């Protein structure tokens, strides 16, 4: 398929401080959900969407992944991008981009499962010649997330800080990223992808969003981690 994407960067270096009571000794995305690490569900979903190669951006307790990943992926289908010090989400993505072979790549948070249709998002991204395209989840009565507003052409109009809203779109933590355009920004070694890239450059009109009302769960807090135990099985993907 023209413009299809086969590679994904999975951000898997999070500390998971809010999950310490439930998962004291593991990176957040390695937290067990029905006897398998949560990141398994993320990988399996993207495999169903045509992703063949994965780059795992690792930091905190990266050794926890080393013995696990070969059990779910063939050796030639993944690479590790390990930060020796915390680089922020932007720094982690920037480092992992050096291992990507395509011009565009999926970027996803390893502690969030958002079952988007990858090639639909990719087709939109390519059609718009976008620098970055965000998958946005419609959400109601939320205080946990900031909201994203779009212009008529689906370019980002604004980002709003976390606050209560009755209904809106949130950043679902899955992106299509044009690597040459991203690296041209000459970002610092350590930075926040959300604050210092998306919120800084969206006014240029080349950052877009697509609403996707698909299954979404972020295990960053204990309540949603427990919900994942009820809602997720590997047969769902």
Distances (CA, A) of 48 to 31, 36, 193: 22, 18, 27
Q: What is the pLDDT of residue 235?
A: 66
Q: Please list the alpha-helical segments (H only) found in 154-202.
A: 179-183, 199-201
Confidence check: pLDDT of 2 > 70: no
The yes-or-no verdict on residue 189 having pLDDT over 50 is: yes
What pLDDT is stored for residue 41 in this prediction? 96
Of the pLDDT bands very low, low, confident and very high (cuts 50, 70, 90), residue 22 is low
Region 95-111 average pLDDT: 96
Residue 19 belongs to domain with CATH number: 3.90.550.10
Assess if residue 18 is contained within a domain: yes
State yes or no: pLDDT of 142 exceeds 60. yes
At 23 the pLDDT is: 65
Highest mean pLDDT among 63-77, 130-144, 194-208: 194-208
Which runs of consecutive H residues, i.e. helices, occur in 102-237?
A: 118-127, 179-183, 199-201, 222-231
**Cα separations in angstroms, 97 against 94, 105, 163:** 5, 8, 32
Domain-embedded: residue 44: yes
Backbone angles phi, psi at 191, to 5 degrees: -170, 165
Confidence class for position 24, pLDDT limits 50, 70, 90: low
Residue 1 pLDDT grade (very low, low, confident, very high; cuts 50, 70, 90): very low
Is 77 among the domain residues? yes
Contact (Cβ atoms closer than 8 angstroms) between residue 208 and residue 130? yes
On whether residue 165 sits in a domain, the answer given is: yes
In tens, the pLDDT along 73-98 reads 887 899 999 998 889 999 999 999 99
Asked whether residue 142 is assigned to any structural domain, the reply reads: yes
pLDDT at 60 over 80: no
Q: Total structural domains in the chain?
A: 1
Three-class SS of residue 208?
Answer: strand
In a domain, 93, yes or no: yes
Q: Are strands 216-218 and 112-114 parallel, antiparallel or unpaired?
A: antiparallel
8 Å CB contact between 191 and 105: no
User: How far is 78 from 7, CA to CA, in rounded Å?
Assistant: 9
Task: Report residue 167 as tokens.
Answer: 């209904």
Q: Which domain holds residue 221?
A: 7-232
Q: What is the pLDDT at residue 18?
A: 59
Residue 58 DSSP SS3: strand
Given a cut of 50, whether residue 135 has pLDDT beyond it is yes
Q: Is the predicted pLDDT of residue 237 greater than 60, yes or no?
A: no
pLDDT at position 181: 97
Kindly state whether residue 237 falls inside one of the protein's structural domains.
no
In a domain, 149, yes or no: yes
Q: Is 221 left (phi over 0), alpha (psi -120 to 50) or beta?
A: beta
């Amino acid at each position: 398929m023209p413009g299809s994407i086969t590679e994904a960067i999975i951000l898997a270096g999070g500390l998971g401080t809010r999950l310490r009571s439930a998962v004291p000794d593991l990176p957040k995305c390695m937290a067990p959900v029905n006897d398998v690490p949560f990141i398994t569900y993320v990988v399996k979903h993207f495999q169903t969407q045509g992703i063949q190669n994965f780059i795992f951006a690792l930091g905190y307790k990266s050794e926890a992944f080393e013995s696990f990943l070969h059990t779910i992926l063939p050796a030639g289908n993944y690479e590790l991008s390990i930060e020796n010090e915390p680089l922020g989400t932007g720094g982690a993505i920037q480092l992992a981009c050096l291992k990507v072979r395509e011009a565009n790549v999926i970027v996803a948070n390893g502690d969030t499962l958002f079952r988007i249709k990858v090639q639909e998002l990719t087709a939109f991204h390519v059609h718009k010649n976008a620098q970055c395209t965000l998958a946005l989840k419609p959400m109601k009565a939320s205080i946990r997330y900031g909201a994203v507003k779009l212009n008529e052409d689906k370019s980002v109009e604004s980002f709003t800080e976390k606050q209560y809203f009755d209904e809106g779109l949130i950043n679902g933590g899955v992106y299509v990223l044009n690597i040459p355009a991203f690296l041209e920004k000459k970002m610092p070694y350590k930075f926040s992808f959300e604050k210092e890239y998306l919120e800084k450059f969206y006014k240029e009109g080349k950052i877009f969003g697509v609403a996707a009302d698909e299954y979404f769960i972020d295990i960053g807090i204990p309540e949603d981690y427990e919900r994942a135990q009820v809602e997720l099985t590997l047969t769902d993907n």
